[in-house]
A and B are shown apart, each in its own frame.
Chain A
Amino acid sequence: MSTTLPLGRVGERVKRVDGIPKTNGEFAYSSDLFAAGMLWGHTLRSPHSHARIVEIDLADALTSPGVHAVLTHEDVPGQKRYGLEFPDQPVLALDRVRYFGEPVALIAAEHPEQARRAAERIRVAYEPLEPLVDPERALEQEPLHDERWTHGHGYRDDPRPNVVRHLVIRHGDPDAEGAVSVSGVYELGIQDQAFLGPESGLAVPDGEGGVDIYVATQWLHVDRDQVAPCLGLPPERVRIHLAGVGGAFGGREDLSMQIHSALLALHTERPVKMVYNREESFVGHVHRHPARIWAEHRADADGRLVSVRMRILLDGGAYASSSTAVTSNAASFACGPYAVANALIESTCVYSNNPPCGAMRGFGAVQTCFASEAQMDKLADALGLDPVELRLRNALAPGDVLPTGQRIDGSLPVAEVIRRAAALPVPELEPLPREAIRLPGGAGNTTRGEGVRRGVGFAVGFKNIAYSEGFDDYCAARVRLREDGSAEVHCAAAEVGQGVTNVILQVARTELATDDVVLAPHTTASVDSSGSASASRMTWMAAGAVQLACRAALEERERTGGEVDVERIYRHVRTSPLDPETGQTTGERSHVAFACAAMRVVAEVDVELGLTRVVWIGTAQDVGAAVNPQAVEGQIEGGTAQGLGLALMEEIQTQGGLITNASFTDYLIPTALDMPPVESVLIEDPEPSAPYGVKGVGEPPTVVSTAAVVAALRDATGRELTRVPVRPDDIVGL
């Protein structure tokens, strides 16, 4: 699908090109794909969270009506394992399953129902094993993996079993004493990305042994680089094309059905489509790491932080995914956007038989922000200081040094976002009587004002932009300038709903000074990698690459005349790994840049029923420079809603590692009634090393909103509320 663009250059409010088709139901998502003669693929999954596979009997399934192929790990022609960072995950279970829903076998049939029925006729003999479900005990139990996949990559050498990564950041003298000290234990449940478009795609064999895969993903090239070796093919014979993405939020960083559909397609020599249903989607992608965090904050009598200690335990589930980076991110942002001279941060991620965890919007920073901001409120209380004033006294600023030893040399207007968010006027108390939906309990009509108390919460958070710790993070763009002055841009940056399509077009229009620009389909076949639509990096990176390519194309045309076609690669500043023993950066920086946000929340709580209403949210966010202010506001509102969901209702429930609420009936996400109006102030303090001064905007609102919402509930109820989601039973509780 080529896209013609509306008017709009960098910095203008531009309507999203995909907005109207998505609203009208005309947008083609990956689940809408169709090819003549296609078969339907289906995945047989493990009903156990931990079991040995004794035998797989395919005989009945192979003779089932409509079936064209039934495949197991024996049919994987290349590498048997894959992984985003470490190849620890079997394409199809080998001799053991490690999580509930792990793929065991694949079926291709004429009709999806035939495929499902054939799956029921595959007889797998399992020998159930005791599942490892308590992350606190993981380090003393039998290892779940025979190999230590994540070891030998420059991380701290930790001989204990089931360690994915153990990171210690030691900064200054963590034993330094303060005038006051507060401590607490905090816990977060497993959050799901809950994107509306389930995993889906279409694999089409090219007739020459290669395959084209049309799929909703976040990073086309890293998919290809994982798929090809498993198929036993060179990368150029696997082409990945972006299909319509129905939300991602990190949940599409890892592969889902890519290798599976390609295996079936190559085996049957027919196109094969796979679409997960909702229940399958819950086991078909990684989730946000659940966490248990202990924190101690010490401050002097004026409220200046003296020392922060934190121990973070993350449950990574069965496979590594991006857990090593989440471990490090959680630690990097453990102290919040505050200057701290002394710190000891210990962050550990373990393997378990719980649902696999990996990337989700906020990526480790959400978990520690929740703990750290609760601690700041406790500290303010202990000191008798206003919570906003306490935060201002400790606000990080350019020139300050982070606990990793990195000096902030770019933009980071922490004090300004705090002041601007704190200055937003809080709405007045609405008089009674009110409509039920304007009271806690909502449509349930549970109160006419009885038991209702109001609270105001405040929180600040920050996070890195782009990939860190020495990762070679780049983005390519290709620009064709035709003789008639029109331009075609190729960039593989995945449009996951965040609006990067508009960003690319806006940059190209600005640089080429023409309206006549189209964006070519996103594919590995015509342009190099863009990197992932992750880590709040895509706007920055795509803008950088398209800007470079446009400028190069104009120069080339100046020199040669006629049609030109140039490709350029953009890289942000280099980062360095953290020292495995001290957690200190081994170069100038381990993170590229940072973005911060402050948020003020007004909530009402019916303290007799424990029901809540978030009344209003005001936020000031450090956005660098807004390429498209309308899209930035959309990201702030959406990101805030996702953090509110974690604060109030979202949690994957498990029993012995089995997901018990894998549906949108039982896993609740906020409705429009649960979301208050969001007043957002964009703080434009350009990032010196970024194109146009931009920063990513997708994650900071999610990082801060969980903490801010719970702070408001604490203010209203006087309860500690140390675990999210906070549900009615936590408030009326004993």
Chain B
Amino acid sequence: MGALGNGTRGLAGGTDLVPLLRDGLVAADRLVDLRRVIPSGIDGTAIGAGTTLAELEADPQIPDALREACRLAASPQLRNMGTIGGNLLQATRCWYWRLNYPCRLHGGDVCHAREGQHREHAIFANDYCASAHPSDVAAALLALDATVETTRAAGPLAGLYRLPDDHDRNLVDLGADELITRIHYERPEQSVYLKAMDRKRWAFALVGVAAARYDDGVRLGLAGVAPIPWRLASLDDLEQATPLPGTAYKLELARALGRRAIAAVGG
């Protein structure tokens, strides 16, 4: 692990990293193939970080919310390569960030999306940076109360993510040489993932809602609504949203999808 950092990046499926390298959004002098280093495979409620989305979507012991989230992510070619660990770290689709605008995530002092086009952007925690996190899988794992094990520590998935600020523009709290190794989830009574997209398949979530029912109630995780995967204690918390003019519709989507997801898991 000491080899990572200082211009060296770890590569698992490469489905996110390679396009970022190609577009000049990530620089690396050297890539280290992690596929034999990172645990992979499913063992009860533990998932090796190197497990591909294709493996997860096909395994009947995986809860519906996570299977559906994997199945709805990207195309079969990408799911055959992309790993669950990498998926949790995937970069935003924010055009300004992708076009290398000097935005806050790139160290600048303005969020271009807030003033500009932001239809695909955030309705929560969008004051500093309005980007939206694209991971369907993270939304499902939030609802499934997942914990993440890394080469250094273990803790709730929600703790992997952080909102950017003037001191630190990162969206994840992970050292340069720290790798996600395993994900553990709590088995629910029932779970579901509903994903609103601009077409029938193969598109990022406008809003994705995962719901999982446990003894003590229904847990909700959302994709596409905040710079990081977003957990909701209840649908009432949607009232705390701060949509931008172009994202007001996402609040409507989150309300309706939230109601339907809760109903679907018998909550």
Contacts and interface: CB of A to CB of B under 8 A. Distances in A.
Are A and B a genuine interacting pair, yes or no? yes
Interface of A: 437, 441-448, 450-451, 608-611, 613, 648-649, 653, 655, 658, 660-661, 665-666, 668, 670-671, 673-674, 727-729, 732-734
B260 A437 contact: no
B194 A446 contact: yes
Given A442-B197, A444-B194, A658 B99 contact: yes
Contacts of A729: 119, 246, 249
B144 interface: no
B200 A728 contact: no
B95 interface: yes
A671 B202 contact: yes
Interface string B68-81: 10011000000000
Category for how many chain B residues contact A: 20 to 34
A633 B96 CA distance: 42
B249 A655 contact: no
A442 B201 contact: yes
A99 to B, nearest CB: 16
28 contacts: A437-B200, A442-B200, A443-B71, A443-B201, A444-B196, A444-B197, A444-B200, A444-B201, A444-B205, A446-B257, A609-B196, A609-B257, A610-B253, A611-B197, A648-B199, A649-B199, A660-B99, A665-B93, A666-B93, A666-B95, A671-B199, A673-B200, A674-B199, A728-B196, A729-B119, A732-B252, A732-B253, A733-B248
A734 B248 contact: yes
Contacts of A437: 200
B256 A609 contact: yes
Contacts of A728: 196, 198, 206, 249, 253
Contacts of B182: none
Nearest to A661: B95
B201 A671 contact: yes
Nearest to A669: B199
Given A655-B95, A660-B117, A609 B253 contact: yes
Nearest to B202: A671
Interface of B: 68, 71-72, 93, 95-96, 99, 116-117, 119, 192-206, 246, 248-249, 252-253, 256-257, 260, 264
Contacts, number: 99
Contacts of A613: 200
A interface majority secondary structure: loop
B198 A444 contact: no
B195 A446 contact: yes
B210 to A, nearest CB: 11
B201 A445 contact: no
A445 B193 contact: yes
A444 B257 CA distance: 11
Contacts of A448: 260, 264
A387 to B, nearest CB: 28
Contact of B252 (A444, A447, A608): A608
Contacts of B206: 728
A629 B142 CA distance: 54
- Would you list the 6 A-B pairs with minimal beta carbon distance, nearest first? A442-B200, A673-B200, A729-B249, A444-B195, A660-B95, A608-B256
Given A441-B196, A668-B203, 9 more contacts: A442-B197, A445-B194, A608-B252, A649-B199, A653-B95, A660-B96, A673-B199, A728-B196, A733-B248
A734 B116 CA distance: 19
A658 B63 CA distance: 43
A451 B95 CA distance: 32
Contacts of A671: 199-202
Contacts of B246: 729
A727 B117 CA distance: 15
A450 B200 contact: no
Contacts of A441: 196-197, 200
B93 A444 contact: no
A611 B196 CA distance: 8
A7 to B, nearest CB: 38
Contact of A443 (B117, B200, B252): B200
Nearest to A443: B201
Contacts of A611: 196-197
A732 B199 contact: no
Contacts of A727: 119, 198
A651 to B, nearest CB: 10
Contacts of A666: 93, 95
